[in-house]
């Protein structure tokens, strides 16, 4: 047992990050059934779709699972009401102020975790009363902090500042990465990209195939003026870069982004015009595996790496 396994009542301190267009009930329940903590990604779901996924997840697993809610969400009040109505026990919030919803969720008996990209935000989350913090480094897939703090530097700095449990995210896809993060002071890890390339991920097969074919350096953090996001360098990304050469206004960037780019890319499989979010660690991911195989492999690698590390001698 450690702080994270006991906080969530799970076997392994591995959390599958909530991911728009990737983490529906199939992925979340498969991760939870394999001993990790699966999260349904509410960010790409209309409220009634989220309700359906929560109900299906309850039928697919008797293990704990949670919901990730990016707080930029337009229907946030409805989303939170559904979460409470459906008896969800764990919520990970991101992209917003942790003060806004933490007390409401806690009053309803929900364990609350907030995702941050700096130690200043980690302290704010702790002060807001969350049960744990996810500290997510610059390497991570999806939306990210502006400061570009890497996981290797972020985790020990956050660890110094907070006393509540700490979950590391960004660049972790193997048991070795997990051991490294936990050596730096994390109590558990949140893994995104590795689970995006899983059998149970709801993303389009075209997206999964481009992820496993990606080489080191295949992604870049961009659109910092809107909401910084790490993207695969496809045609849409090149269009964004071309626009940057003309010193665009924020409105011009918003207009190029348009609507539903992420859905088009990750869910509908348009690899040219769509927005394709993935982390730097995709360069290491070479196969699309079932969630259980990903977790079992990570745990075996973690144990192996631990044995190797104690043999180091200077
Ligand atoms: C395709 C994709 C979509 C994501 N969507 C969300 C999201 O909706 N909410 C959120 O808090 N984080 C989101 N993330 C971040 C993940 O939850 C996780 O923290 C991150 O992927 C960890 O870094 P890694 O990709 O290096 O494993 C997303 C990541 C990816 C790759």
Interval 22-66: pLDDT, tens: 999 999 999 999 999 999 999 999 999 999 999 999 999 999 999
**275-307 per-position pLDDT tens digit:** 999 999 999 999 999 999 999 999 999 999 999
pLDDT at 126: 98
% pLDDT > 70, the chain: 100
Please state the φ and ψ torsions of residue 94, each to the nearest 5 degrees: -150, 170
Is residue 90 a contact partner of residue 110, using CB atoms and an 8 Å limit? yes
Among 20, 92, 142, 152, say which to mutate for ligand 1: greatest number of ligand atoms within 8 Å of CB: 142
Q: Ligand 1 centroid to 292 CA: how many Å?
A: 19
**203-219 per-position pLDDT tens digit:** 999 999 999 999 999 99
**Mean per-residue pLDDT for 189-208?**
98
pLDDT at 97 over 90: yes
- The kind and range of the H/E element at 297 are helix 291-310
pLDDT at 72: 86
List the one residue out of 22, 203, 197, 13 whose CA is nearest residue 113.
Answer: 13
262 in ligand 1 pocket by Cβ < 6 Å?
no
**Mean per-residue pLDDT for 223-231?**
93
Q: Ligand 1 centroid to 125 CA: how many Å?
A: 19
pLDDT at 313: 75
Among 66, 67, 141, say which to mutate for ligand 1: greatest number of ligand atoms within 8 Å of CB: 141
Ligand 1 atom with the smallest distance to the CA of 262 is 1
Neighbours of 205 (CB within 10 A): 10
Ligand 1 atom with the smallest distance to the CA of 203 is 1
Q: How confident is the model at residue 74 (pLDDT cuts 50, 70, 90)?
A: confident
Ligand 1 atom with the smallest distance to the CA of 18 is 17
Round the average pLDDT of the chain to a whole number and report it.
Answer: 96
Q: Ligand 1 centroid to 129 CA: how many Å?
A: 23
Report how far residue 71's alpha carbon sits from residue 99's, in angstroms, rounded to the nearest whole number.
11
| Domain-wise residue ranges, the chain | 3-202+285-309, 205-281
Q: How confident is the model at residue 124 (pLDDT cuts 50, 70, 90)?
A: very high
36 in ligand 1 pocket by Cβ < 6 Å?
no
165 in ligand 1 pocket by Cβ < 6 Å?
no
Neighbours of 300 (CB within 10 A): 11
137 in ligand 1 pocket by Cβ < 6 Å?
no
203 in ligand 1 pocket by Cβ < 6 Å?
no
119 in ligand 1 pocket by Cβ < 6 Å?
no
Q: Residue with structure tokens 């996810």?
A: 134
pLDDT at 1: 84
Report how far residue 131's alpha carbon sits from residue 4's, in angstroms, rounded to the nearest whole number.
10
pLDDT at 8: 98
pLDDT at 91: 98
pLDDT at 34: 98
Q: Which CATH superfamily is domain 3-202+285-309 in?
A: Aldolase class I (3.20.20.70)
């Amino acid at each position: 047992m450690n702080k994270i396994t006991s906080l969530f009542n799970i076997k392994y301190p591995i959390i599958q990050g909530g991911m728009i267009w990737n983490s529906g009930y199939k992925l979340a329940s498969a991760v939870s059934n394999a001993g990790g903590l699966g999260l349904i990604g509410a960010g790409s779901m209309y409220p009634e779709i989220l309700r359906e996924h929560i109900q299906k997840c309850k039928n697919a697993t008797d293990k704990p699972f949670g919901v990730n809610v990016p707080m930029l969400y337009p229907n946030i009040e409805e989303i939170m009401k559904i979460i409470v109505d459906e008896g969800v026990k764990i919520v990970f919030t991101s992209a917003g102020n942790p003060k806004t919803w933490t007390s409401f969720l806690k009053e309803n008996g929900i364990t609350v975790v907030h995702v941050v990209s700096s130690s200043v935000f980690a302290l704010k989350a702790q002060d807001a009363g969350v049960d744990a913090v996810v500290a997510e480094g610059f390497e991570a897939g999806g939306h990210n902090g502006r400061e570009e703090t890497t996981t290797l530097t972020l985790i020990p700095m956050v660890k110094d500042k907070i006393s509540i449990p700490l979950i590391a995210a960004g660049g972790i896809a193997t048991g070795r990465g997990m051991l490294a993060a936990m050596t730096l002071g994390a109590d558990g890890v949140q893994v995104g990209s590795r689970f995006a390339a899983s059998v149970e991920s709801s993303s389009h097969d075209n997206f999964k195939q481009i992820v496993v074919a990606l080489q080191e350096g295949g992604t870049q953090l961009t659109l910092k003026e809107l909401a910084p996001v790490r993207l695969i360098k496809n045609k849409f990304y090149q269009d964004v870069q071309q626009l940057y050469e003309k010193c665009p206004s924020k409105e011009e960037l918003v207009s190029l982004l348009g609507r539903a780019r992420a859905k088009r890319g990750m869910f509908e499989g348009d690899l040219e015009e769509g927005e394709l979010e993935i982390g730097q660690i995709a360069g290491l991911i070479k196969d699309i595996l079932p969630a259980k195989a990903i977790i079992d492999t990570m745990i075996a690698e973690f144990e192996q790496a631990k044995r190797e590390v104690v043999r180091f001698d200077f």
